[in-house]
């Protein structure tokens, strides 16, 4: 296998398709590193906002990148994210961050910095990474590439339930509008837009529950990297 026998699993797709649920499950099953790359763009957006910088203004964002210090760690198997010494793992999940993360991710210099960091974290180990450009840009040689998607209604429904469970005060219509706006932003930006890599397997989970989606993902991984790595 390429990369000195290490393997990489790339999961891309629009927001709310279940990428992180699937990636976490695979990481646990295979005992490999999981990297949620969206968390980094979220952290960059939080950093800019804390510095009173408009995430759409690249002339303001670019000089800030020198001091952007994103730390990725793992506590009890969960990824934590910090800005300098400040743990922002929970802050980056607040609903206001989503659109700002999508906006800041359009700036090429931001992507260059974060993609470098993502490749560093992935090097020399087995990894499952999720995001928008993993199969097309970050890890083009990944042994397994999955493009995970679902209808916007199905994704909004799942995201709405998740946020309500967490106690966030949102309406279904707000969540759906956010998903549609972010799809549009992420799919139409100039640099590394969200798209299915030519060699990615498409999995549409609109009509699958979590257990069925997990099974479908495991089947794809088993087929690509061999039976011994994954059970059932
Ligand atoms: O996966 P997420 O919803 O946490 O990602 C937040 C935003 O970050 C997403 O709307 C677009 C951007 N992103 C990106 O451009 N490239 C990635 N690999 C991951 C996320």
Q: What is the mean pLDDT of each run of 10 residues along the chain (232 residues)?
A: 74 95 93 96 98 98 98 93 98 94 98 98 95 98 97 95 90 95 96 97 95 94 75 54
Q: CATH top-level class for 8-221? A: alpha beta
Instruction: Say which residues have a Cβ less than 8 Å from residue 166's Cβ, sequence separation at least 6.
Output: 93
pLDDT in the model for residue 231 = 55
In the prediction, which pLDDT does 198 show? 97
Ligand 1: atom nearest CA of 130 is 18
Report d(CA 104, CA 93) in Å as an integer.
16
The residue whose C-alpha atom lies closest to atom 16 belonging to ligand 1 is 132
What residues line ligand 1, using a CB cutoff of 6 Å? 15, 37-38, 41-42, 98, 101-102, 105, 131-134, 182, 186
Quick one: pLDDT at residue 225?
87
Q: Whose CA is nearest to atom 11 of ligand 1?
A: 102
For residue 19, give the ligand 1 atom closest to its CA: 1
Closest C-alpha residue for ligand 1 atom 20:
38
How far, in Å, CA of 28 to CA of 94, rounded? 25
pLDDT of residue 76: 87
C-alpha to C-alpha distance for 203 and 12, rounded to whole angstroms: 10
3-state secondary structure of 79: strand
- Are the C-beta atoms of residues 144 and 172 closer than 8 Å to each other? no
CA-CA distance, 142 to 206, in Å (whole number)?
A: 25
pLDDT score for 168 = 86
Q: Whose CA is nearest to atom 14 of ligand 1?
A: 132
User: Where are the chain's structural domains?
Assistant: 8-221
Ligand 1 centre from 227 Cα, in Å? 31
Question: Which residue, by CA, sits nearest to atom 15 of ligand 1?
Answer: 105
Atom 9 in ligand 1: residue holding the nearest Cα? 102
- Three-state SS sequence of 40-61: HHHHHHHHHHHCCCCCCCHHHH
Tell me the CA–centroid distance for residue 228 and ligand 1, in Å.
Answer: 32
**CA 99 to ligand 1: nearest atom:** 10
**How far apart are the C-alpha atoms of 106 and 125, rounded to whole Å?**
28
Alpha-helical segments (H) within 34-151: 38-50, 58-64, 95-104, 108-122
């Amino acid at each position: 296998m390429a990369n000195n026998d290490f393997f990489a699993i790339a999961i891309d797709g629009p927001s709310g398709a279940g990428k992180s649920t699937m990636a976490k499950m695979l990481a646990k099953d295979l005992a490999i590193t999981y990297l949620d790359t969206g968390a980094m763009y979220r952290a960059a957006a939080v950093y800019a906002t804390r510095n009173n910088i408009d995430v759409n203004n690249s002339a303001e964002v670019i000089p800030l990148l020198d001091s952007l210090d994103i730390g990725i760690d793992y506590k009890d198997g969960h990824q934590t994210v910090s800005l300098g010494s400040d743990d922002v793992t929970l802050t980056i999940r607040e609903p206001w961050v989503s659109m700002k993360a999508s906006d800041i991710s359009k700036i090429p210099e931001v992507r260059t910095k974060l993609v470098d960091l993502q490749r560093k974290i992935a090097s020399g180990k087995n990894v499952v990474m999720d995001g928008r450009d993993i199969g097309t840009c970050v890890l083009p040689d990944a042994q397994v590439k999955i493009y995970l998607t679902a209808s916007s209604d199905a994704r909004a429904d799942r995201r709405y339930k998740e946020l309500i469970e967490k106690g966030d005060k949102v309406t279904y219509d707000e969540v759906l509008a956010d998903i549609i706006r972010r799809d549009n932003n992420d799919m139409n930006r100039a640099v590394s837009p969200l798209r299915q890599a030519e060699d990615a397997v498409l999995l549409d989970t609109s009509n699958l529950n979590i257990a069925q989606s997990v099974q479908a993902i495991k089947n794809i991984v088993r087929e690509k990297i061999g039976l011994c790595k994954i059970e059932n």
